[in-house]
Amino acid sequence: MTERKPPGVSFESWVDRQIREAEARGEFTALAGAGRPLPDVTDAPYDELWWVKQKMAREGLSVLPPTLALRKEAEDALAAASAAPSERAVRRIVEDVNAKIRELMFKPPPGPPLGLKPYDVEEIVRDWRERRRTA
């Protein structure tokens, strides 16, 4: 809608005219979801952020407290370290996540406790070497 409501014209008739002209131009044909029923949300309590949550779900996003996000990152780092191609890569991955763990240990953010301590790099490298020998 690019034009402004002219003075002296009632808002309802101006809107009705806009809709009628858009229909005549075919702007309402082939809309996504046309002909399908609306999703049943009547039994859910009202949530003013429903559209934000739906958008995040469609985009595959999630928002976790910093401590939970770091727990997930640490878990992913251990998996990446075990699949790393070299000892140098294992050390870099574990040292990077250890730096983040130490930072949150000394400056705890709001939310649940971290519950992690820095990993023993040498132990993880030793485990990595063992898995390489047996594979």
Cα gap 1→11, rounded to integer Å: 14
pLDDT tens-digit map of 85-131:
999 999 999 999 999 999 988 887 777 888 889 999 999 999 999 98
CA dist., res. 40 & res. 28, Å (int): 23
Handedness of CA 63, 66, 71, 77 (dihedral sign): positive
Q: What is the pLDDT of residues 71-87, one digit of tens each?
A: 999 999 999 999 999 99
Q: What is the CA angle 69-96-116, rounded to 5?
A: 50
With 0.85 as the threshold, say if the pTM is over it.
Answer: no
The count of C-alpha atoms lying within 13 angstroms of the C-alpha of 15, restricted to the half-sphere facing its C-beta, is: 3
Q: Give the ranges where 83-119 is alpha helix by DSSP (H).
A: 87-106
Whole-number average pLDDT of the chain? 85
